[in-house]
Amino acid sequence: MDKQNQPLQSEGERVKEQDHSLSERLYNRIIDSYNFYETKRLRRVKAMQLAALWIGVVMFTGITMWRATAIWTKNKTIQPQVQLISAFQTSKKITLPDSTVVVLHPKSSLSVVSGFNEKDRSVLLVGGAFFDVKRNPAKPFIVKSSNFTTTVLGTKFAVNASEEGDINSIFLEEGKVSIQIGQNHQILSPEQKFTYHRSTDTWQIQNVKGVSFDMSNGSILLNAVSFEVLQQCLNEYFDIKLKTKNAKALAVSYRLRLGLSLAPGAIADILG
């Protein structure tokens, strides 16, 4: 059939085709618009999540710097220029200019005086840390915190100087340390622990055997320790309060390796 003899399209069919074409264009525009705004929404959500994370980091750093300033002032020391090294969510290993190795606990910070190791070796700790101090009799290593000052020549020890909770402590694995609390001085020998109670301004020294630190990865090693020592370690280093009425659990010894960055659930799995 030639073109001239083809049947003419009715007016109704032409309108139907136009309506279909218009509907298809509107549908595509709606889909494109939805995709565009959904992409923008997801970007906003991601930006808000990142902003929340950075706000947390900034608040932690700001509070830590304020605490550092307060402690320097409390110790009647002119505030020097300091370098703030912080561990926000995990432990962090640091080697200082004098070759002293420090493992910072999570949510802890270390302020190092400008000119460290030139005349002395002073640091300021907020939170907790393990120290393996390079021996230098001419320059004692001094750790300042809000409640006490620890002075050593060369040794391996742990300090818990958290601003939260009632207990601060020092545990000495090797060497000897001098602790100043106000006008009082205490000397620790290896395998001794100094515990300070902030609420009552009192302290005690006890012998603790079977506890050591792996400075390579920031782990606490418990070798045949009592349930009481296990309780103390979990409370001070992980803020976990362990209780039991099981006579067998109180009688046995415990051998564990606990990394500072372990979550409570992981520690529960290790304890079985």
pLDDT at 27 over 70: no
Higher pLDDT, 152 or 49: 152
Joined together, the tokens standing for residue 167 give 């207990």
More confident residue, 270 or 65: 270
* Residue pair 72/79 in contact by the 8 Å Cβ criterion: yes
- Whether the pLDDT of residue 98 is over 70: the answer is yes
Does 77 or 252 have the greater pLDDT score?
252
Pairing of strands 254-259, 219-225: antiparallel
Distance of CA 204 to the CA centre of its chain: 27
On average, the pLDDT of the chain sits at 77
Spell out a b/e string for 180-194, using b for 16 or more CB atoms within 10 Å of the CB, else e.
ebeeeebebebbbbb
Place of tokens 């620790």: 188
Contact partners, residue 215, CB within 8 Å, separation at least 6: 93, 101, 103, 130, 132, 156
Q: Are strands 121-132 and 141-144 parallel, antiparallel or unpaired?
A: parallel
Confidence of residue 70 (pLDDT cuts 50, 70, 90): very low
pLDDT digits (tens, 9 = 90+) for 151-194: 998 899 999 988 888 889 999 999 999 999 988 999 999 999 99
Residue 217 near residue 259, CB atoms below 8 Å: yes
∠ CA(15), CA(19), CA(23), 5° rounding? Answer: 175
User: Is 217 a residue whose pLDDT tops 90?
Assistant: no
pLDDT band at 85 (very low <50, low <70, confident <90, very high): confident
What's the confidence (pLDDT) of residue 99? 93
pLDDT at 219 over 50: yes
pLDDT at 3: 46
105: pLDDT strictly greater than 70: yes
Q: Picking from 12-26, 128-142, 176-190, 192-206, which range would have the lowest pLDDT averaged per residue?
A: 12-26
Whether residue 26 is predicted with pLDDT greater than 70 in this model: the reply is no
- Contacts for 227 with CB less than 8 Å, ≥ 6 apart: 244, 249, 250, 251, 252, 254
What's the token pair of residue 15? Answer: 């309108």
Given a cut of 70, whether residue 242 has pLDDT beyond it is yes
**Amino acid 44: pLDDT:** 57
Determine the Cα–Cα distance for residues 189 and 175; give it in Å rounded to an integer: 7
